[in-house]
Amino acid sequence: MKVAAVIPAFNEEHRIGAVLKTLAASPEITDIIVVSDGSTDRTYEVAAAVPGVRATQLPTNKGKGGAMRTGALQTDADILLFFDADLVGLTPQHVHDILQPMLAGEATMSMGIFQGGRWATDIAQRFSPGITGQRAIRREIFLQIPNLENVGYGIELAITYYVRHHDLVRKDVILRGVTHPMKEEKLGWVRGAGSRMIMYWQMLRFRISYELYGRPPRIRKKK
């Protein structure tokens, strides 16, 4: 069974290298694809320099969902493995753990839940595990999920809700010691807090729309 790791990335030149090093050392992975989503730094160059990595530079930012779909269309692997590009503490054992339910045929999707990394990310995922960006899913199922390019920060919830709505089997896997930087650390307090408020608003809209109408809202992109 073929496994492709797909890493959507936006301006992660300083962090993506560690994630790719871990993926390259993971024997279960047969393909590593990085989609630099309109990055203005050296994310593409850093990724392309890693042996065994296929990197794509999108000319404009399509959003995380669009970048994920772009990567999924570049492979014929049975299983897609998505990781955020800014993870801290990821090891080949974590990769094995999240893939194990998939390779054993026990689940359609497995999700990695942070634990023991840092309190802020631990709490966020304890109360809302469906927002995790670390997951493995069968490729044919992922490509059936509609409008991924238009859900903004609701991308993880869109995938989680689709699996739940179609009564597919999901397994949660603890990723002990894994975390990632907060938006305020990456963007500064003002921009980071603003980005966080937008994220929370879009996620709230998504939950309300899906619960009331059974479909995600369309998030308008800035021109």
* 78-130 pLDDT per residue, tens: 999 999 999 999 999 999 999 999 999 999 999 999 887 555 655 665 656 56
Contacts 24+ apart (CB under 8 A), 112-117: 112/173, 112/174, 112/175, 112/178, 113/172, 113/173, 113/174, 113/175, 114/175, 114/178, 114/179, 115/174, 115/175, 115/176, 115/177, 116/176, 116/177, 117/88, 117/89, 117/175, 117/176, 117/177, 117/178, 117/179
Backbone angles phi, psi at 139, to 5 degrees: -60, -40
**Single-letter amino acid code for the residue at 162:** Y
pLDDT greater at residue 157 or residue 196? 157
Q: What is the per-residue pLDDT for 223?
A: 40
SS3 label, residue 113: strand
The mean pLDDT value of the chain amounts to 86
- 77: helix, coil or strand? coil
pLDDT at position 214 is: 64
Cα–Cα distance for residue pair 150/134, rounded to 1 Å:
20
Q: Contact, 26 vs 52, CB < 8 A?
A: no
Phi, psi angle pair for 173, to nearest 5°:
-125, 130
Q: Which residues contact 84 (CB under 8 A, 6 or more apart)?
A: 7, 19, 133, 134, 180
Residue 216 is predicted with a pLDDT of 59
Does the pTM of the predicted model rise above 0.85?
no
pLDDT digits (tens, 9 = 90+) for 21-77: 999 999 999 999 999 999 999 999 999 999 999 999 999 999 999 999 999 999 999
Domain-wise residue ranges, the chain: 3-181
* Mean pLDDT confidence for 192-203: 61
Spell out the alpha helix ranges (H) of 73-154: 92-103, 119-127, 139-142
Q: For the residues 167-173, what does the mean pLDDT come to?
A: 96
First-to-last alpha carbon distance for the chain, in angstroms, is 41
Nearest to 156 by CA among 131, 122, 181, 184: 131
Q: Which amino acid is at 60?
A: T
* CATH class assigned to 3-181: alpha beta
Let me know: does 205 contact 143? Beta carbons within 8 Å: no
The pLDDT value recorded for residue 120 is 62
Distance (Å, whole) CA 75 – CA 135 = 17
